[in-house]
Structure 1
Amino acid sequence: MFIPMLMAQCSEKQGEKWLPLCENLIVIGTYAQTELGHGTFVRGLETTATYDPQTEQFIINSPTLTSTKWWPGNLGKTTNHAVVLAQLYTGGKCHGIHAFIVQHRDMETHQPLPGVEVGDIGPKFGYEAVDNGFLRYHNVRIPRDNMLMRYSEVTKDGRYIRKANEKLTYGTMVFVRSAIVSTAAKNLGEACTIAIRYSAVRRQSEMKPGEPEPQVLDYQTQQHKLFPLLATSYAYWFAGRSMRETYLDIQGQIMAGDFKRLPELHALSAGLKAMSTWATNEGIETCRLSCGGHGYSHASGLPKIYVDATPACTYEGENTVMMLQTARYLMKACGQAAQGNELPGFVAYLNQKGVDRCMIGDDLSLVSLVSAYQHRARRLIGKAALQMKAHMERGQPQEVAWNLASVQLVHCAKAHVQCYVLKNFVDSIEQYGHHEDVARVLTQLCQLFAVDGILNNAGDFLQGGFMSYDQLDNMTAKLLDLLAAIRPNAVALVDAFDFSDHLLQSVLGRYDGNVYENMLEWAKSSPLNDTQVHDSYYQYMQPFLKEMHKSKL
């Protein structure tokens, strides 16, 4: 996030100074937002930047223990600068959170500068090679020009000037979240690649006595574990791509001061970040379990993918908080729709009345599937809004009502994001219309994604009589049909990700399928096999065994 923050928030003059230094690896930076006591609640950050007009400098300070910056990547031992988020004070007045470039290590010796405490935060669940760090400032002075001044400025005499709408700062978050969504889809795709390739190699038990053991991938239960995850990885890959492209498309509008689409994109990116990382975290573990005992070995590559993907559930904020950000926008949109206002962008479906009965037929029309998801999201959003209203009518302040309805708010936000992901999947398939076979297989994946989502959230679709029990039973039958239809193309669908063996680092997921020969070679390469008898035998076991032998004699 260091360079994207500079690109987004440096003035033109600042960019000309700092970006070449970064590109030439003179300045090696990190992004310091999260503190020991605060993360997602950015307004609650405690680090201060107080302007001194006498010296034309900012004084960066960590006034409390909990203001210690905590978690920035590569901070512990590697970086020499940070973009630091701090509360800006001028003339005794706080102007809220702003970004500053602060040097914390000497450019020659790499020693911490005076007034700076910096170090590594210690072992983590994964990413052991990354030196996530802590950082404390004790009245460290930086030049006035080290405040990122594209959107706001402090003059030499200490006057604060806001140049543009504060919503512009959302842009960087949207860009970063789109990268997180794409990475989550990639991680899930890697796990699916390993599990599906291995399931095509592994043979197990008998379907019919006396016949050869079938491929594990031929078992319906294995398909039921893996194919919905494969569909999910495709769905979120398309979603991440779409969000990134949408942001780039409207960047010109944003820079021109047109923010109409930015609030929706910001809210959607928060929900997508949460939903994609949750799905990936759970999905990788399912893939590991589907590989049986060999999935527990590091030879499978799955443990590493899991520990690399898991931190994303708390990147840039714990996921439940991300969902509540989405819900906050949805409540505003719902209120506007209730007043008869036309809504922009994807939330326009809240203006539609929709159908009262599920219209999904045997053909699993993509239009009818999207309509069902829109009905569910629209109903749940309206229900959460009514719950909020009921609490306030009983005399509760809005913030209390928000907390009392927060479970429903998260639930409706999930429904909205799932609706977007499905609609975007459907729209993405249209790009491949000239490739009939590709479009057909992608359609099957999209249908599986949608049907699996309906079955996993059956209560939502049954409520209000929208879907009947017979229709739900039909969804189960259709899901099983889709598993059989996808089976012949399953390996090709993961091969289409084009993950190299070098990237996967998996014996089980090798492209050539030579699993067992290479598992044995992988085991032989263990340092424990450098000698036939380990020193510990002579030091501990041999004396112990001799004593035991003597005692028996």
Structure 2
Amino acid sequence: MAARMNPDLRKERENASFDPEKITTFLWGGKERVQRKRELEFLALNDPDYQHEDLNFMSREQQYETQLKKGILMVTKMKELKIPDEDQLFYTSAVLVSDVHPMMVHTRMFLPTLYGQATEEQKDKWLKLAENYAIVGTYAQTEIGHGTFVRGLETTATYDPKTQEFILNTPTLSASKWWPGGMGKTSNYVVLMAQLYIHSKPYGVHSFMLQIRSLEDHKPLPGVTVGDIGPKFGYDVMDNGFLALNNVRIPRENMLMKHSRVEPDGTYVKPPSTKLAYGTMVQVRANIVMYSGVVLAKAVTIATRYSCVRRQSEMKPGHPEPQVLDYVTQQYKLFPYLAAAYAFWLTGQTMMSVYTTSSSQISKGDISVLPELHALSAGLKALSSAAANVGMEKCRLACGGHGYSHASGLPRLYTNMTPASTAEGEHVVLMLQTARYLMKSYNQSLQGEKLAGSVAYLSGVQLVPAAGRTRNMLDLGVLCDAYRHRAGRLVHEAAAQLRSELQAGKDQADAWNATSVDLVKAATAHSQYFVVKNFAERLTDSTLDSSISDVLTRLCQLHALHGLVTNSGDFLEDGYLTGTDIRQARRHINALMAKLRPDAVALVDAFDFPDGILNSVLGRYDGNVYEHLLEWAKASPLNKTDVHQSYHKYLKPFLEANRAKL
């Protein structure tokens, strides 16, 4: 018998203007991909080997042990099931739900670094071991005193030509490696980022393969001090670690030498580009853009469904309590982030496609694509992770008091998303990296060079817009033009400010620092333009029927208009838009929200997150929230007995002593 459906949610689904399945197909890449996704999710969600007590009711040690066991089971079963690489994410997402496992960095950073930076001989030596989990590795870059500034890393690798070895040291406290996931207790190998020294001369940061624990008893090897860094804001299941090294020697062949190398006599052969060593980082950043869209989509799904189930207050005296989503203020909290979830989901797909194409070119020796790939991944990673964090908190607030409970699924989603704003590059630093590329590109355009790719528009920056135009603020072309103009103007003004600081006598570093707020603003505007333009371009897909095209167009309009109104000063500052344009944009937002209201549940259903993956009592597909909230609460370990042992130890004597005094 089919599960009972909350009548409010049933009504929402019956009144939708489109078939959510069509958008699901669009978002996941076709009917076959959707079918494969669902098969693997069903397989994982219904496997009794993965069932366990709610992680929220466990200690950190229990969470680590549970997820390690699940991770090992998962790796073993994926091999038995022969799940290809392109399908594994479907399976792993269903196994891990809204979390990770302690060997995750092995898959996401350790292996990709070996693929991208090891020579063929080194791959023969280590890849089979790593791919078959005969060894487990992590990626050790960040130090306790240095993070995003890779050139400032203090860990050293000093070459000794007599023994043909590198001597590895963390010479200061601040040089200790800090944060690598899985290093605390799980990994026995690391890819170590360290400053290379040959004959006392520095050659910059390079990567080295280092064994840190015995393969016999897992104890740290001589000269290695390693452990777990303790509880964090999220990811309780992950054993992020610290690592200190004291004169640890490794063979010369343990330097990853695909791009640069050290000969036996100490001769250094430099790489064709210093940026080639950062391929792993670019891949991880591209993944974070995709991840941001998916995680925001989960949060919006939870908050939207719950806002239809929850009834609150009186809109009209004497009438029944309305659904919370009927309040326009609630729509204004949620719908812009529903639109943003779609925007970043599609941007993530584009970013991964750009990364794949660029990697193919780089592997063939064409490194001309590296600077744009680096700049694009940095800006979009910073923008998407920040937007996801803000949006998820809005979703939690939109769920009222129940959003504060772990039963909602939102606290765990939120705390596990927050590292993305600092991991693999802190937000502002990444925006400044994008800004550096924008400044270079803009200056090239002033010299008459033709720009291509994401910066092509900088060749045609128009500083004096045509006056007195009336604009249709719902036209996606008009909105894209406005974002392009704003980005171009802010890049131009940041460049002018930088030039002014230099002309005032400041050196390059001080002038850059003095202009940095303007530079971050320009890079943010550039990244936002890319997202809006990409969303609009994806809607030209000829396979979309009119009902899907219509509703997705509304989302794209809302995303662009909300960003425009939120940053209205930028668009008004030089007279490109007028006060009338902004007022029109505000009215359009209200009208779009009214049109999207009947489709809200269908739009979150289209993300196609089964309950087992959403892991939220508030966001259940059937909407039966309250009975399951009570059921969830009863499962708390504090409820295993009617009277907790602490009553007899502490509370009873305290109360009895106080009563005796009366």
Q: TM-score normalised by the shorter chain: which range applies?
A: over 0.9
Change (3 A) 1:163 1:328: closer
Q: 1:390 Cα deviation (Å)? A: 0.7
Change (3 A) 1:544 1:56: closer
Q: Does 2:494 align with 1:384? A: yes
**Range with bigger deviation, 509-518 or 491-500:** 491-500
Query: What is aligned with 2:158?
Result: 50
Question: Which of 134, 140, 148 matches 2:248?
Answer: 140
Does the CA-based 8 Å contact 1:261-1:344 persist in structure 2?
Answer: no
Does the CA-based 8 Å contact 1:360-1:369 persist in structure 2?
Answer: no
Change (3 A) 1:425 1:5: same
Question: Which of 590, 595, 598 matches 1:488?
Answer: 598
For the residue of structure 2 that corresponds to 1:431, the secondary structure is coil
Query: What is aligned with 1:520?
Result: 630
Q: Does 2:317 align with 1:209? A: yes
Map 1:401-480; keep pairs closer than 5 Å. 401-431=511-541, 433-480=543-590
Map 1:32-111; keep pairs closer than 5 Å. 32-111=140-219
For the residue of structure 1 that corresponds to 2:539, the secondary structure is helix
Query: What is aligned with 1:341?
Result: 449
Does the CA-based 8 Å contact 2:286-2:355 persist in structure 1?
Answer: no
- Rounded to whole Å, the distance in 1 between the matches of 2:642 and 2:454 is 65
- Rounded to whole Å, the distance in 1 between the matches of 2:461 and 2:196 is 47
For the residue of structure 1 that corresponds to 2:619, the secondary structure is coil
Does the CA-based 8 Å contact 1:358-1:466 persist in structure 2?
Answer: no
Change (3 A) 1:519 1:256: same
- Rounded to whole Å, the distance in 1 between the matches of 2:468 and 2:349 is 30
Q: 1:433 Cα deviation (Å)? A: 4.6
Query: C-alpha offsets along residues 145-176 of structure 1, whole Å, 9 cap, x if unaligned?
Result: 11111101112222111253323234332211
**Range with bigger deviation, 173-182 or 101-110:** 173-182
Change (3 A) 1:436 1:358: farther
Q: 1:259 Cα deviation (Å)? A: 2.6
- Rounded to whole Å, the distance in 1 between the matches of 2:580 and 2:520 is 29
Amino acid at match of 1:239: T
For the residue of structure 2 that corresponds to 1:464, the secondary structure is coil
- Rounded to whole Å, the distance in 2 between the matches of 1:434 and 1:16 is 46
For the residue of structure 1 that corresponds to 2:419, the secondary structure is helix
Change (3 A) 1:499 1:30: same
Can you give the 5+ residue segments of structure 2 that lack an aligned partner in the other structure?
Answer: 1-108
Q: 1:124 Cα deviation (Å)? A: 1.1
Amino acid at match of 1:369: L
Q: Does 2:339 align with 1:235? A: no
Change (3 A) 1:360 1:498: farther
Query: What is aligned with 2:259?
Result: 151
For the residue of structure 2 that corresponds to 1:430, the secondary structure is coil
Question: Which of 463, 482, 490 matches 1:372?
Answer: 482
Change (3 A) 1:64 1:546: closer
Give the fraction of aligned pairs with identical amino acids, expressed as a percent.
56
- Rounded to whole Å, the distance in 2 between the matches of 1:357 and 1:82 is 60
Query: What is aligned with 1:399?
Result: 509
**Range with bigger deviation, 163-172 or 204-213:** 163-172
**Range with bigger deviation, 209-218 or 79-88:** 209-218
Does the CA-based 8 Å contact 2:284-2:424 persist in structure 1?
Answer: no
Q: 1:275 Cα deviation (Å)? A: 0.8
Does the CA-based 8 Å contact 1:432-1:438 persist in structure 2?
Answer: no
For the residue of structure 2 that corresponds to 1:135, the secondary structure is strand
Q: Does 2:362 align with 1:245? A: no
Amino acid at match of 1:508: L
- Rounded to whole Å, the distance in 2 between the matches of 1:480 and 1:176 is 37
Does the CA-based 8 Å contact 1:432-1:439 persist in structure 2?
Answer: no
Q: Does 2:302 align with 1:162? A: no
Amino acid at match of 1:347: V
Q: 1:431 Cα deviation (Å)? A: 2.4
Question: Which of 493, 498, 505 matches 2:608?
Answer: 498
Does the CA-based 8 Å contact 2:472-2:478 persist in structure 1?
Answer: no
Change (3 A) 1:107 1:360: farther
Q: 1:317 Cα deviation (Å)? A: 2.2
Deviating 4+ runs (over 4 angstroms): 357-360
- Rounded to whole Å, the distance in 2 between the matches of 1:357 and 1:522 is 61
- Rounded to whole Å, the distance in 2 between the matches of 1:373 and 1:56 is 56
Q: 1:358 Cα deviation (Å)? A: 8.8
Query: What is aligned with 1:273?
Result: 381
Q: 1:205 Cα deviation (Å)? A: 1.6
Query: C-alpha offsets along residues 461-516 of structure 1, whole Å, 9 cap, x if unaligned?
Result: 10111111111111100000111111111111111112222222210011111101
For the residue of structure 2 that corresponds to 1:18, the secondary structure is helix
Query: C-alpha offsets along residues 105-156 of structure 1, whole Å, 9 cap, x if unaligned?
Result: 0001000000101011112111122111110111111111111111011122
Query: What is aligned with 2:9?
Result: none
- Rounded to whole Å, the distance in 2 between the matches of 1:466 and 1:371 is 10
For the residue of structure 1 that corresponds to 2:574, the secondary structure is helix
Change (3 A) 1:341 1:356: farther
Question: Which of 184, 187, 195 matches 2:303?
Answer: 195
Amino acid at match of 1:192: V
Amino acid at match of 1:403: N
TM-score of the superposition, structure 2-length normalised?
A: 0.81
**Range with bigger deviation, 4-13 or 535-544:** 535-544
TM-score of the superposition, structure 1-length normalised?
A: 0.97
Change (3 A) 1:146 1:214: same
Amino acid at match of 1:137: L
- Rounded to whole Å, the distance in 2 between the matches of 1:67 and 1:353 is 45
Aligned alpha-carbon RMSD (Å): 1.5
Q: Does 2:138 align with 1:30? A: yes
**Range with bigger deviation, 143-152 or 99-108:** 143-152
Change (3 A) 1:549 1:45: closer
Map 1:169-188; keep pairs closer than 5 Å. 169-188=277-296
Q: 1:359 Cα deviation (Å)? A: 6.2
Does the CA-based 8 Å contact 1:207-1:213 persist in structure 2?
Answer: yes
Query: What is aligned with 2:28?
Result: none
Matched residues, number: 552
Change (3 A) 1:509 1:132: same
Change (3 A) 1:424 1:34: same
- Rounded to whole Å, the distance in 1 between the matches of 2:225 and 2:244 is 5
Map 1:99-138; keep pairs closer than 5 Å. 99-138=207-246
Q: 1:357 Cα deviation (Å)? A: 5.1
- Rounded to whole Å, the distance in 2 between the matches of 1:432 and 1:35 is 49
Q: 1:207 Cα deviation (Å)? A: 2.1
Query: C-alpha offsets along residues 181-240 of structure 1, whole Å, 9 cap, x if unaligned?
Result: 111111111111110010011111222223222111111100100010111111111111
- Rounded to whole Å, the distance in 1 between the matches of 2:493 and 2:289 is 28
Query: What is aligned with 1:284?
Result: 392
Can you give the 5+ residue segments of structure 1 that lack an aligned partner in the other structure?
Answer: none
Does the CA-based 8 Å contact 1:327-1:412 persist in structure 2?
Answer: yes
Does the CA-based 8 Å contact 2:358-2:373 persist in structure 1?
Answer: no
Higher RCO, Cα 8 Å, sep 6+? 2
Query: C-alpha offsets along residues 304-351 of structure 1, whole Å, 9 cap, x if unaligned?
Result: 011100111110122110110011111111111112211111111111
Query: What is aligned with 2:326?
Result: 218
Does the CA-based 8 Å contact 1:50-1:90 persist in structure 2?
Answer: yes
Change (3 A) 1:251 1:547: closer
